[in-house]
């Protein structure tokens, strides 16, 4: 979840990427649909011992979806399914956490339909609780061992 309120400068972004790209507890992936780059998915606080991570995503602006006649809601649903599958089969996780702004009712409903349950705390999370942010957890058994 992005907590930065100001527009991020190129220098800030470059410094962030240099630090993030060397961190094995983080993974950032681009996603596209029919050759159109639509956003990024990220996993943070990856804990191989606990088999857990946080995840989130950022989508491109509405204009890109409109220009390619794509449904943003259908992309959200597809991304959520792919993320869960990737977490199980590629990362070998058994717990997937996420955070959602309280007013983002559509995403909260999507997470709940995917099996996420709201939680009030987690011992593995590195951030302090932020007012207006709800936390969710999906627990599952990995379907394939990491390799």
Supply the pLDDT for residue 7. Answer: 73
The string of pLDDT tens digits covering residues 23-81 is: 888 999 998 888 889 989 999 999 989 899 999 888 888 898 899 999 888 888 888 89
Q: Is 93 helix (H, G, I), strand (E, B) or coil?
A: coil
CB-facing half-sphere around the CA of 16: CA atoms within 13 A: 9
Of residues 126 and 9, the one with the higher pLDDT is 9
The residues spanned by each domain of the chain are 10-139
CA distance 39 to 65: 11
Supply the pLDDT for residue 145. Answer: 45
| CATH, range 10-139 | 3.40.630.30
Rounded to two decimals, what is the model's pTM?
0.76
- Tell me the residue ranges of DSSP E strands in the chain: 27-33, 36-47, 52-59, 95-101, 117-119, 133-139
Supply the pLDDT for residue 140. Answer: 77
* Helix (H), strand (E) at residue 88: helix 72-89
């Amino acid at each position: 979840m992005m907590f930065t309120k100001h527009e991020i400068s190129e220098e800030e972004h470059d410094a962030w990427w240099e630090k993030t790209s060397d961190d094995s507890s983080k993974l950032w992936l681009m996603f596209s649909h029919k050759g159109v780059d639509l956003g990024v998915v990220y996993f943070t606080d990856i804990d191989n011992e606990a088999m857990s991570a946080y995840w989130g995503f950022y989508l491109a602006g509405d204009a890109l979806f409109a220009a390619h006649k794509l449904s943003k809601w259908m992309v959200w649903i597809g991304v959520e399914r792919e993320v869960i599958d990737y977490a199980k089969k590629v990362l070998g996780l058994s717990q997937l956490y996420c955070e959602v702004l309280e007013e983002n009712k559509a995403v909260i409903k999507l997470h709940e339909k995917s099996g996420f349950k709201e939680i009030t705390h987690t011992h593995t999370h590195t951030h302090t609780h932020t007012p207006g942010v709800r936390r969710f957890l999906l627990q599952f058994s990995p379907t394939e061992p990491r390799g």
